[in-house]
Amino acid sequence: MHIFITGVAGFLGSNLADYYLKKGFKVSGNDNLVGGEIQNVDPNINFYQYDSENLELNSKYFKGVDIVIHCAAYAHEGLSIFSPYLISKNIFSGSVSVFTAAVKQKVKRIVFCSSMARYGHIKQPYKETDIPIPVDPYGIAKLAAEKVLINMSETHGIEYNIAIPHNIIGPKQKYDDPFRNVASIMINLILQNRQPVIYGDGTQTRSFSDVDDCIFCIDKLVTKKNIRSEIFNIGPDENYITINELFKKISNILKFNKEPLYFPDRPREVKYSNCSADKARKLLNYKTEFNIDDSLKRMVEYIKSNGSKKFIYNYDIEIDNNLTPKTWTKKFF
**Residue 242 pLDDT level (bands cut at 50, 70, 90):** very high
Angle between helices 292-306 and 182-191 (to 10 degrees): 50
Quote the pLDDT of residue 81. 98
Amino acid at 328: W
pLDDT value at 7 more than 90:
yes
pLDDT value at 239 more than 90:
no
Q: Which of 221, 213, 230, 228 is nearest to 295 (CA)?
A: 213
pLDDT value at 281 more than 90:
yes
Quote the pLDDT of residue 267. 96
Question: In 224-291, which ranges are continuous DSSP H helix?
Answer: 243-254, 278-284
Q: Average pLDDT for residues 257-273, to the nearest whole number?
A: 95
Task: Tell me the pLDDT tens digit for each residue of 205-220.
Answer: 999 999 999 999 999 9
Task: Tell me the pLDDT tens digit for each residue of 40-67.
Answer: 999 999 999 999 999 999 999 999 999 9
Task: Tell me the pLDDT tens digit for each residue of 20-36.
Answer: 999 999 999 999 999 99
| Measured distance CA(111)–CA(3) in Å, rounded | 11
Task: Tell me the pLDDT tens digit for each residue of 178-209.
Answer: 999 999 999 999 999 999 999 999 999 999 99
pLDDT value at 299 more than 90:
yes
If one counts every other C-beta atom within 10 angstroms of the C-beta of residue 205, the result is: 16
β-pair partners for 242: 205
Query: How many degrees, rounded to 5, is the angle at CA 175 between CA 174 and CA 177?
Result: 85
- The proportion of the chain whose per-residue pLDDT surpasses 70, expressed as a percent, equals 100
Quote the pLDDT of residue 240. 86
- The proportion of the chain whose per-residue pLDDT surpasses 90, expressed as a percent, equals 97
pLDDT value at 295 more than 90:
yes
Q: Average pLDDT for residues 76-88, to the nearest whole number?
A: 98
Assigned superfamily of 2-169+208-234: NAD(P)-binding Rossmann-like Domain (3.40.50.720)
If one counts every other C-beta atom within 10 angstroms of the C-beta of residue 194, the result is: 16
**Residue 238 pLDDT level (bands cut at 50, 70, 90):** confident
Q: Average pLDDT for residues 281-285, to the nearest whole number?
A: 97
Cβ within 8 Å of residue 3, ≥6 positions away? 20, 25, 26, 27, 28, 65, 66, 67, 68, 69, 222
Mean pLDDT of the chain: 97
Task: Tell me the pLDDT tens digit for each residue of 92-136.
Answer: 999 999 999 999 999 999 999 999 999 999 999 999 999 999 999
**DSSP for residue 117:** G
| Measured distance CA(3)–CA(6) in Å, rounded | 10
Cβ within 8 Å of residue 262, ≥6 positions away? 197, 198, 199, 200, 201, 202
Question: How many helices and strands, by DSSP H and E, does the chain display?
Answer: 11, 13
